[in-house]
Structure 1
Amino acid sequence: MSYLMPIYQPLAIEFQRGEGCYLWDIEDKCYFDAISGVGVTLLGHAHPVIHAEIVAQSQTFLHLSNLFKHGWNERLAEKLAEITGLTQAFFCNSGTEANEAAIKIARAYGHQRGIQRPKIIVMQNAFHGRTLGALSATAKPAYREAFGPLLDGFEFVPFHDLAAIEHYQHDPDVVAVLLEPIQGEAGVNIASPLYLRQLRKLCDQQQWLLILDEIQCGLGRTGTWFFYQQAGIRPDILTIAKGLANGVPIGACLTHEKLGHLLQSGLHGSTFGGNPLACRVAYTVLDLLDKQYLATIADKGYKLLDLLQSRLTGLQNIQSVRGAGLMIGIELIHPVANIPQLASEKFGVLLNVTQGKVIRLLPPLIMTDAQVEYLAQQIALLLKELSQNYVESQP
């Protein structure tokens, strides 16, 4: 009997240690970690600088509450402002909490404009989290059905369809558009720079807020600090989390100064959000990314994508291979059961599958060129076996 709620279905692997891009199980078998805790361990496992910062902070204090100053939250907020151009930060513990804050800001913005029942346009196939507010903005029925009634005020439109959003231009209750520039959970669906620029222009014309959820695709994952920067735009609200502190829980909701005043004292808060440990580690992660890793991510991503596309060409069960930086999706024509198990047991690679048939790769951003080659080789071997099995199963 397990004393854990049966929320997760982990593989039957128990890990004892990790280093860089690798993990070792209790039998000392080594695995290449190509999912990074679903995009969390950007700098890999047991990074020596991160370790040193955690130890140093643990020797002073881990938590003070937001009733007192400690400095690390201010330093982190300033660093994020330099990177994003968004000058107001609220720190929480997760991506879903960051999105909750964004939804509250958007609704407060609407009320400030005299809109009593503000609406937010959101995307089909979106995933913004599992709290009730974020879940109300999440499209997948399987995530929603057991928890109704959810919040109203969300209008779902197809992803990457500007005309569907333009349809709401005459709806006086719309106050914002919320989307992931790259839908990770939906299978690595990528918005084009042109679409993002057009959406920014439309939001400006309508006085709508543009809210971007870069919880999975941000923080260097696509080769720039944030994917929206590749379109030359800036959102009104940005939500981030996952890899911000390389595994120490932290999320952030960032806005420009015209919106920062909407969440005053007493209107929002977090017991653990912005604690000294999380903020110190997050600051260190950003510093390391900036000085050592960010400049090489795009090239590594191009190389990995090119290797995969060339080595998977002609395989029977491959629909497409797509990606941006080190965020890659390999879509199969038909779902295949137990891919993560096969990948780990036979090929020594940890990965996951979304939408039943999209192999999602989110390897650490510290990969070497040799590790890029190795990962491409192992994934190609895995897909060749899956393709052969697919051919043999056809009548």
Structure 2
Amino acid sequence: MSSLQSFVAVSTSSANDLRHLFRLNSQKAPPGTQPYLPRISCCFVSEDTQKSAPSISTGNRLLSAKSEDLIEREKRVLVGTYARAPVVLVRGKGCKLYDVDGMEYVDMTAGIAVNSLGYGDGEWVKAVAEQAKSLAHVSNVYYSEPQVILAEHLVECSFADRVFFTNSGTEANEAAIKFARKFQRVSCDSDTHATEFVSFSNSFHGRTMGALALTSKENYRLPFEPVMPGVKFVKYGDIDGAKKAIVSGKTAAVFVEPIQGEGGIHSATKEFLQTLRIACDDAGALLIFDEVQCGLGRTGYLWAHEPYGIVPDIMTLAKPLAGGLPIGVALTTEKVASAINYGDHGSTFAGSPLVCHAALTVLKRIKDPGFLSAVTKKGLYFKELLTHKLGANSHVKEVRGLGLIVGIDLDVLASPLVDACRALGLLVLTAGKGNVVRLVPPLIISEEELKQAADIIERCLPALDADGVH
């Protein structure tokens, strides 16, 4: 815990907030179920006793007949690709979600880092409704004004000269793969040209066959091999390994996440990214930043690579850009774009007027300096709070991240903690090898809601011990 102890030097009181504790336990029981009443430690026992005694029951609350019915119906009609949590969500407001039985949850997932403006944002709803009334979809056979306006704004606030729209992050990475291959074919004077890629450990770039080939987790790739050949994996942050792997005439591009999300909230160093930039330039390879999860304000910077001062040739975006509607983007320099001709790539749905108009609303809000400053402030507050509250627990190795992309690294699997938090009205995710709690809330979340989340996580820590599960 040395890294935790060094993160925050101040000490604050660990006394519990009685009103907060009782508010957490006042959820109404769903109709037709027995009330779920998590146990809390008596607030009048000694601090040492509180630290050693389990404070809650971690069993799942009983599902209502309505929830059970929907879950059973899902099993009969959908392909079984998702191990879903037993929650049927029906509405959201701000940073809160509500299930079919009326239970309230503080959402620290944001639809996996998607809903940066939370749920039911007035400006976003208005933009979607306005555009839906006039023109939702026309295909890329024709021009549409919202697509051009959004592209202009993306170019204006980034390194890029050109924009290509897709429907998702994995599609944006597929576009980047194709662009890199075509660029190498056009720029090479000989009959042979570079076709290989370099990616890194703990990486996640998507589930389509090209993006999957760049994803390091073998359990994602092995069932579908052979995937795209010619990918070298290097340990994330390994400067010497990266230098050796990037080879002139062979390496078409290097894919890297400035901050890894799915991989466990690992941040690159400036030296590492600078090395990649120099090695790519020397080898004639392209440097591609995947900011699908970490970009667009989540770190407190508009782009996650900004504080490093290093510019890529291509950057991919997706998750938060359209506020919950499907979108992906590959931003490129003119050098790369000049290698792409009519018909080289395309998409029926990508960049529709409806999605682009919604995305423009999101982009304008997030790129505001005041908005970004607030994300930075809340991120620092949240990490300090988590470090103070969780730092004494033997299972907590580190609290890390930047802005509002935060990971709690554990020495055990995080799923019992995730389940216990959900039972108390807090939604969180896992990452890494299942041992990291991933916290990516809506960027509009308040400090009060962050404190509520930290309180629940602290109370649920006994779930990580075998004798803490009831």
Same fold by TM-score greater than 0.5: yes
Cα RMSD (Å): 1.6
1:253 and 2:330 matched: yes
TM-score (normalizing by structure 2): 0.80
The runs of 5 or more residues in structure 2 that have no matched partner are 1-74
Return closer, same or farther for 1:365/1:169 CA change in 2, 3 Å cut-off: closer
1:342 and 2:416 matched: no
The runs of 5 or more residues in structure 1 that have no matched partner are none
1:227 and 2:304 matched: yes
Mean alpha-carbon deviation: is it higher for 371-380 or for 157-166? 371-380
1:312 and 2:390 matched: yes
Aligned match for 1:14, one of 85, 88, 101: 88
In structure 2, the residue matched to 1:324 is 402
**C-alpha distance in 1 between matches for 2:240 and 2:123:** 48
Displacement of 1:352 in angstroms is 1.2
Q: Deviation per CA, 1:6-56, whole angstroms, max 9, x where unpaired?
A: 111211111121001001111111100000110000100111110011110
Displacement of 1:336 in angstroms is 4.5
Q: Deviation per CA, 1:134-171, whole angstroms, max 9, x where unpaired?
A: 11111111111111111112111111111101113555
In structure 1, the residue matched to 2:117 is 43
In structure 2, the residue matched to 1:207 is 284
In structure 2, the residue matched to 1:104 is 178
Mean alpha-carbon deviation: is it higher for 203-212 or for 151-160? 203-212
Displacement of 1:338 in angstroms is 3.7
Any residues of structure 2 matched to 1:69-84 within 5 Å, and which?
69-84=143-158
Displacement of 1:361 in angstroms is 0.4
1:263 and 2:340 matched: yes
Any residues of structure 2 matched to 1:1-395 within 5 Å, and which?
1-112=75-186, 113=188, 114=190, 115-291=192-368, 293-345=371-423, 347-354=424-431, 355-383=433-461, 385-387=462-464, 389-390=465-466
Letter of the aligned partner of 1:314 in structure 2? Answer: A
Mean alpha-carbon deviation: is it higher for 166-175 or for 219-228? 166-175
**C-alpha distance in 2 between matches for 1:352 and 1:2:** 26
Secondary structure of 1:278's aligned partner: helix
Identity percentage of aligned residues: 37
Displacement of 1:192 in angstroms is 1.4
Displacement of 1:280 in angstroms is 0.5
Secondary structure of 1:59's aligned partner: helix
Mean alpha-carbon deviation: is it higher for 235-244 or for 368-377? 368-377
CA contact (8 A) 2:404 2:441 kept: yes
How many residue pairs were aligned?
390
CA contact (8 A) 1:343 1:349 kept: yes
**C-alpha distance in 1 between matches for 2:328 and 2:411:** 35
Return closer, same or farther for 1:116/1:193 CA change in 2, 3 Å cut-off: closer
CA contact (8 A) 1:316 1:391 kept: no
CA contact (8 A) 2:420 2:463 kept: no
CA contact (8 A) 1:78 1:87 kept: no
TM-score (normalizing by structure 1): 0.95
Letter of the aligned partner of 2:358 in structure 1? Answer: V
